[in-house]
Amino acid sequence: MRAAPAEDPAFRDLKLLLLRDEHRDLAGLQAELARLDRRVGSEDRFCRAVADSLVVALKVVEIENHRALTEVIAPLVVAGIRREIAESRDLMVETLYPIAGRMVAAAVAAAFRQLTDEINGILIRWPRRMWLRLKALLTGQSYAALVLAELAQGRLERLILIDRSTGAVLATTDRDGQPEADPDGQLHLIGGLVTAIVEFAGQALSDVNGELRSLDFGGRTVLLRVSPLLIVAGLTEAGRGAGRLAGVVDAEFLPFLDAVLHGDETRDETRDAANGGADHATPLAALHRAIAARLAPPPRRVRPVAVAGGLVALALAAWTTGAVLSARQRAAEATALAAIEDAPDLRDSPLQLAFDREAGVIRATGVLPTREAAAALRDRLAASFPAWPVAARIAVASDGAPGREAVATLDRRTDAVEGSVNEARARLGTLETRTGAVEATLPTLAPKEAVARLEARTDTPLQRLEDAVKRTAIFFGPDATYRDPAAAERDLATLAAALAAVEGARLRIVGYADGTGTVRANLEAARLRADRITADLERRGIPRARLVVVNSRPPFPITDERVTGNRRVVFELAYSAE
């Protein structure tokens, strides 16, 4: 066999020089193929490599694009949970049935325990307790009702908006109602779990047409409101204002759905999924703020009743305090005064000490054996009660003459009082006698009917007309103008009414001038004033035939006023044949 010809070293060097890059690439490809063969060369190595890659890929996409991952994974999670619930319904019922009673009992006990602790906390805070008791006293409400009403102040911690079809979380808010991203990375799990539970409850309660409205997760309560497309979950503290909060959520849920629907209709179709989620955050934040606003207590107003009640209570407290202090002071003063009165040197003497609080003095009355004892009593009272002056009427037993004179004075005063009493009795007897005489003459007096007829006879329309004619005079200013129009109108109305009430009566109208001008001018002025009166009476319904106008009479002054005091028109009853 022929041996291969030896390769020329120069040719080998030339080949290495020309194909150096290709040799390097082939060596790299061989190493890469060897590495891939070691990792995925067999079925087991390929499965293990894919599993490791999936773990790393999920971690990366969870950090960089969480929403996209949620939208992809959530339907699978929700479908899996639904399938497990649907396929294992009997198993779930068998598992939950034995512990359902204990769960309910534990929840009720925990709620009552929390309520009791909160009530005890409020009762321990005594300023708040005193205010609640005063408020109950002023408003008439029960103290227990006010305490329970104060406890029923729910607070919304978070709102979560979930897509019902996929279980994806579309938006969420924080405690202050501001849009918030996923704070702990667990919202997608909460969304899937809540969606699955809602669907299971809907299927389980389909025969009674019911739906799940709340969930209790130990220390929190999740309020659920469901529409065909969306689920709104509200997190709040369990057992604290949940009932009131549920009513507020119900009232604001439909306006929120309208806002979301309006936003979906006006949303640009070219927006991607991330921007769409931001569109749901605004109405959800508005819903949170609306609920918080309705849960906020109304601003306190200063009620007049409360202010008046407080002032009355303050005045009553001041009066009570003053009365108690005054009573204590009076008791102490009375005790000190009794101690002085029961002193050994004064115990056997007829002595009486008392406070005259209206006069502001201490009155000391009685008899003491010597003047020195009386002076010592005054000094003792002045030392014990420096603010109280002493009014003493003390007799000294050693002074017999003054005592007898005092007794004689008392006797004289007693006799004078007895004389006054006897005189009063005599006058009383005289009055009784006169009263009997008057009572005896009463039956002989005219009866009431006669008195009434007499009064009716004197108070006739004709008598009233005569009185009006005598009392009425109309005074004028310049020409035919009334000096006092209001008084003239009032007097003419009275005169017209009295004249109309007397059938057939006629009235004579007489004008007077003041006499300052010529006779002719005065007559014309008086005539004009009488005609003015006649026209005004006709305007009030008096026929012209019942009025007699007399030409002016000579001036008859009734006052020293020369301007308008004598310009007048007077009235007289005319004769029937006049």
Write the CATH number for 506.
3.30.1330.60
The confidence score (pLDDT) of residue 37 equals 77
Domain-located, residue 195: yes
What CATH number does the domain containing 187 carry? 3.30.450.70
Q: Over 316-384, what HEC string results?
A: HHHHHHHHHHHHHHHHHHHHHHHHHHCCCCCCCCCEEEEEECCCCEEEEEEEECCHHHHHHHHHHHHHH
The confidence score (pLDDT) of residue 205 equals 61
Average pLDDT on 137-164 reads 73
Domain-located, residue 131: yes
Checking if the pLDDT of 462 tops 60, the result is: yes
Q: Which residues contact 23 (CB under 8 A, 6 or more apart)?
A: 16
- What percentage of the chain carries pLDDT values higher than 90? 0
Domain-located, residue 64: no
- The model's confidence at residue 456, banded by pLDDT at 50, 70 and 90, is low
Q: Which of 247, 262, 295 is the last residue of a domain?
A: 295
Checking if the pLDDT of 452 tops 70, the result is: no
Q: Residue 569: in which H helix or E strand, if any?
A: strand 568-573
> Which range has highest mean pLDDT (81-95, 130-144, 250-264)?
130-144
Domain-located, residue 113: yes
Domain count, the chain: 2
Domain-located, residue 559: yes
Structural domain range at position 93? 89-295
Checking if the pLDDT of 363 tops 50, the result is: yes
Among 55-69, 138-152, 161-175, 322-336, which stretch is predicted with the lowest mean pLDDT?
Answer: 138-152
Q: Hey, what are 330's tokens?
A: 């009076």
Strand partners, 214: 223
Strand segments, DSSP code E, in 70-135 are: none
Among 44-53, 70-79, 228-237, which stretch is predicted with the lowest mean pLDDT?
Answer: 70-79
Q: What is the mean pLDDT of the chain?
A: 74
Strand partners, 169: 162
What is the number of alpha carbons within 13 Å of residue 510 lying toward its C-beta?
16
Q: Which of 266, 295, 324 is the last residue of a domain?
A: 295
Q: Which of 295, 316, 331 is the last residue of a domain?
A: 295
Q: Which residue has the higher pLDDT, 145 or 415?
A: 415
- The model's confidence at residue 272, banded by pLDDT at 50, 70 and 90, is very low
